[in-house]
Chains A and B, each alone.
Chain A
């Protein structure tokens, strides 16, 4: 049997119980008493700063007060009215950068109200009940195609469904959920929450899901735009940026998103091959997630190599500390130069070059360092792959404030449009586009 010291790639480095413990919930559910105690810390601020920074504008003091008076179901309604993926957001939002970062108790004591966990308490309570909390309005007879069943598409489809429109949800993969299902770290989305949430959300009615439907392959934008009253694009970012270094084509140099997707879909973590020495290139949430999960699978040493300094890192300080606490080594100011193979053509080392910014942009200093690596994950960003003839803003689909694209009758939102690549942002954009579609269709 393999263990942590087994050289190269190996499966089953850790015992089943240890693996199970490693992938337990990062932020476990609050017990009802813990929830009341946590809720009691909220000051019920006027024009609360936490709400101001929530991309979906959830009325946080109101829902917390509803928890503290023993009505978590009412609290959940307050949340779902603004954010139908409130359950997932409670688990995956970088709250330290959002609501909790703005909480006045963060400012006062460095200890914010635990908004995320309270949100989870409320949404879990309501979702555990039978039935869906919202009733679908009488059918309007309008048909909308929503392309991509990630957070943006789901939020859009749900809101349109509530408003009485008939939604056809076209998803490329065999399963809905988008990165909730394939991308988010396993310890943030335990108990199959992504799939359960999709099923629950569809309970509102009026939404027809078709999987295996790839825009640009199975059908074209022209066709849907012609046959539906409106179209929403929530296709996310399908591609990944290339490292652009020698050795990139070696077998064990892989795209981190693919590694994570594989991990998320795996029923048995002990069957996942993981290196003894893992290096992750990148500095965002994907890099951190790939590194932490490698460590949890039993890699002996895991290093995140980021080309700039700590402050510029996309991952929040909280995420960095999480990685460090799991034993991940964070290396700053290094960029990949070359991946070296051994005589059997297996990846053996990654050569990194130190970087510095003298004010004219980041440059390699010429000095290099080599780290042993039998698995290298690249997490240096994702790119839009869809070319539907729409106007772009940089490398994403250009949209107005409510998601209107350059093409009449076509809206877009989520990662494929400009703005932060976060679940909660995708939800807000999907919802807002749905409201605008509704206004346009009912005018």
Chain B
């Protein structure tokens, strides 16, 4: 049996599945139940400075988009950080940590961008015995207007400065949580690293409006007829989050910086993908808000089954394994030639591949009188659209052409050697191949 125990920044947890800082972790009651359900760690709901806590709206704070059968694909929220007193949260954290010493407990913090504010809160957090802190530089709404959250996360200099204060006044691991609401995620990641961060976690939520009510003309969620942009998360954001994780994992200056992967993780497979792209562990929010704490059982059983099948003894064995395969477009092998192939036994003759290729791609699928669909190799550019739209999994495959054979589309021999755009004759900036 694979060992799921994961060491992240010296913090061990029985599995790599943590709960992200959010409603599932905003009080003792929830966190105890999460640990009982099997979660490896939690990042406590973000704490604010001493004093009267923030207030939330008293109407709907979530909006959603759906797939088939109302499957929730994307969630958006206009919730703020914890609206409970700091002292209450700290007391609860201390009690929970004492009762669950084997689980990770991280304090998420967001206080004003002033040294004193951090100097005040950090010792109090340290007293709880939490395993580390996460700096919430990500929250895109409500807090950013007050100069916190994403307002800090969008300015690399601030990130570096605040991180440095934290490393100065706190002696356990410091994780910097990044906002995706920026152009190039490598900049804030590097700033965090330069400030001394032990790790980054990403992504926080994305600025979004999930829907507009066409009767009232108010964005949803609507508070008395008005809406505000909120933070988007859930399965829909996973591709964006994975790309950002991979950028940090492979960018020379940030390479090796530990990453806690977040964004749309719903199943063991999502988690394994993030980890293959360099995340040392993962955090989950929307999936538990949709299905409850119990999903961790599937994540644990699924990940261990897959690890056993692949022969990975522990999570370190596969973390980052896919990173070397993430490259820039210009380095992709232009001598690799594939063709779509339709398995006639699996095909149900729906014609979707035909409509897609005929109307929007390369007119490379032929349709016969009796609804047999076949690929015309002379036209197929292997774009994959037919594979993507075919409702039968595995029915259309992309078959690589053997080197030495002739591509009927170009009439050229398929070369065995790798060659990319940097040396391509059509590239005005091409460098001659050696």
A interface residue numbers (CB < 8 A to B)? 33, 37, 40, 43-49, 104-105, 107-108
CB distance from B135 to the nearest CB of A (A): 42
- The answer to the question of B371 belonging to the interface, with a C-beta cut-off of 8 Å to chain A, is yes
Given A43-B391, A46-B354, A46-B355, answer yes or no on A104-B69 (Cβ-Cβ < 8 Å).
no
Which of A40, A46, A105 makes the CB contact (< 8 A) with B348? A105
Cβ contact within 8 Å between A37 and B351: no
Give chain A residues whose Cβ lies under 8 Å from the Cβ of B367. 46-47
- The answer to the question of B168 belonging to the interface, with a C-beta cut-off of 8 Å to chain A, is no
Give chain A residues whose Cβ lies under 8 Å from the Cβ of B355. 46
Cβ contact within 8 Å between A37 and B349: no
Cβ contact within 8 Å between A43 and B68: no
A-B residue pairs in contact (CB < 8 Å), sample of 26:
A33-B70, A37-B68, A37-B69, A40-B69, A43-B350, A43-B391, A44-B352, A45-B351, A45-B352, A46-B350, A46-B351, A46-B354, A46-B355, A46-B367, A47-B351, A47-B367, A47-B371, A48-B351, A49-B349, A49-B371, A104-B349, A104-B350, A105-B348, A107-B349, A108-B348, A108-B392
Chain B minimum-CB-distance residue to A33: B70
Q: What separation, in Å, do the CA atoms of A43 and B351 have in the docked complex?
A: 9
- Give chain B interface residues in 55-90, CB to chain A under 8 Å: 68-70
CB distance from A242 to the nearest CB of B (A): 44
Q: What separation, in Å, do the CA atoms of A372 and B371 have in the docked complex?
A: 52
- Nearest 10 pairs between A and B by C-beta? A46-B351, A46-B355, A40-B68, A108-B348, A104-B348, A45-B350, A104-B350, A43-B350, A37-B69, A107-B348
- Give chain B interface residues in 16-74, CB to chain A under 8 Å: 68-70
Q: What separation, in Å, do the CA atoms of A37 and B355 have in the docked complex?
A: 24
Q: What separation, in Å, do the CA atoms of A276 and B349 have in the docked complex?
A: 50
Q: What separation, in Å, do the CA atoms of A43 and B354 have in the docked complex?
A: 13
CB distance from B64 to the nearest CB of A (A): 15
Give chain A residues whose Cβ lies under 8 Å from the Cβ of B354. 46
CB distance from A73 to the nearest CB of B (A): 15
The total of chain B residues at the interface (CB under 8 A) is: 14
Q: In this complex, which of B348, B350, B351, B392 has the most chain A Cβ atoms within 10 angstroms of its Cβ?
A: B350
Q: What separation, in Å, do the CA atoms of A47 and B350 have in the docked complex?
A: 8
Q: In this complex, which of A33, A37, A44, A104 has the most chain B Cβ atoms within 10 angstroms of its Cβ?
A: A104
Q: What separation, in Å, do the CA atoms of A48 and B70 have in the docked complex?
A: 26
Chain B minimum-CB-distance residue to A38: B69
Please encode chain B, from 328 to 369, with 1 for each CB lying within 8 Å of some chain A CB and 0 for all others: 000000000000000000001111101100000000000100
CB distance from B358 to the nearest CB of A (A): 8
Q: What separation, in Å, do the CA atoms of A108 and B351 have in the docked complex?
A: 13
Q: What separation, in Å, do the CA atoms of A45 and B371 have in the docked complex?
A: 11
For the A-B complex with A43-B352, A46-B352, A46-B354 known, give 12 more contacts whose Cβ atoms are closer than 8 Å.
A40-B68, A43-B350, A45-B352, A46-B350, A46-B355, A48-B351, A49-B371, A104-B349, A105-B348, A107-B348, A107-B349, A108-B391
Give chain A residues whose Cβ lies under 8 Å from the Cβ of B349. 49, 104, 107
Give chain B residues whose Cβ lies under 8 Å from the Cβ of A48. 351
Q: What separation, in Å, do the CA atoms of A236 and B194 have in the docked complex?
A: 88
Q: What separation, in Å, do the CA atoms of A31 and B138 have in the docked complex?
A: 42
CB distance from B131 to the nearest CB of A (A): 44
Q: In this complex, which of B70, B348, B355, B392 has the most chain A Cβ atoms within 10 angstroms of its Cβ?
A: B348
CB distance from A48 to the nearest CB of B (A): 8
Give chain A residues whose Cβ lies under 8 Å from the Cβ of B348. 104-105, 107-108
Q: What separation, in Å, do the CA atoms of A47 and B372 have in the docked complex?
A: 13
CB distance from B63 to the nearest CB of A (A): 17
